[in-house]
Amino acid sequence: KQEVTQIPAALSVPEGENLVLNCSFTDSAIYNLQWFRQDPGKGLTSLLLIQSSQREQTSGRLNASLDKSSGRSTLYIAASQPGDSATYLCAVKGDFGNEKLTFGTGTRLTIIP
Amino acid sequence: DTAVSQTPKYLVTQMGNDKSIKCEQNLGHDTMYWYKQDSKKFLKIMFSYNNKELIINETVPNRFSPKSPDKAHLNLHINSLELGDSAVYFCASSPRGAYNSPLHFGNGTRLTVT
């Protein structure tokens, strides 16, 4: 059974700093890994999707890496801004096209102005 | 031009009642999902429909019954509501067979059972 863990559960950093969020998963037989952002009272917004054959994906100030063999992914946020404050969740999709995503419990990020 | 819309946004009801949550997507996606987010913010899939056909049915009480009248709609009906059903329920959609496409989520329905 796949388990996804995100540590820390909460993180506060001053505006302008670079930061890294961590995600680990127990079963390396994944199809892809996705990072989402959730704002209070809102749904999830997809940020980046890394296919199992890829090592990283970049979008603007965000960079996600994937080390499938060790069961780890990181989300790097450069030059953080107050608008980056949200909960960040990672989710893995099982191999062989399994439609089911297994989510981590998220990291609540606060950027201090 | 909301892509995935859920109604209602908030739902407060008493134990034992029956309630429904509606979901509609205008993205042309074939696959729709219901997720439950508990008080600890843990998201877990409940159901998945592919073009009106049930393809994922996790260990969910029989009191929960999804209904898909067409591929753009996936409604969730809950019978005999219990306190433990209180949570935020999210609807999501994705293109069929597009295993490397991200999910698109609605804004959630916060259900409170008193």
Q: What is the pLDDT of residues B41-97, one digit of tens each?
A: 889 989 888 877 887 777 788 999 999 988 899 999 999 999 999 999 999 998 866
Query: In angstroms, rounded to a whole number, what is the distance separating the alpha carbons of residues B78 and B111?
Result: 11
- Residue A58 tokens read as 């970049």
Nearest to B17 by CA among B94, B107, B114: B114
Instruction: Count CB pairs under 8 A between chains A and B.
Output: 56
Nearest CA in chain B to A41: B107
- By the CB < 8 Å criterion, does B60 face chain A? no
**In chain A, which stretches have pLDDT less than 50?**
none
Pairwise CA distance, residues A76 & B73, whole Å: 36
Amino acid B53: pLDDT: 80
pLDDT of residue B1: 59
> Which residue in B29, B9, B40, B28 sits closest to B108, CA to CA?
B9
**Residue with tokens 């965000």, as numbered in its chain:** A62
Is residue B39 very low, low, confident or very high in pLDDT (cuts 50, 70, 90)?
confident
Q: ∠ CA(A13), CA(A18), CA(A20), 5° rounding?
A: 85
Residues A7-22: b if buried by 16+ CB within 10 A, e if exposed = eeeebebeeeeebebb
A85–chain B Cβ distance below 8 A for any pair: no
Kindly list the residues from chain A whose CB atom is less than 8 angstroms away from the CB atom of residue B90: 43-44
The pLDDT of residue B99 is 63
Distance CA A30, CA B48 (A): 19
Q: In angstroms, rounded to a whole number, what is the distance separating the alpha carbons of residues A57 and B51?
A: 31
B79–A contact, CB cutoff 8 A: no
Distance CA B84, CA B113 (A): 8
Nearest-CA distance A63 → chain B (Å): 16
Average pLDDT along chain B: 90
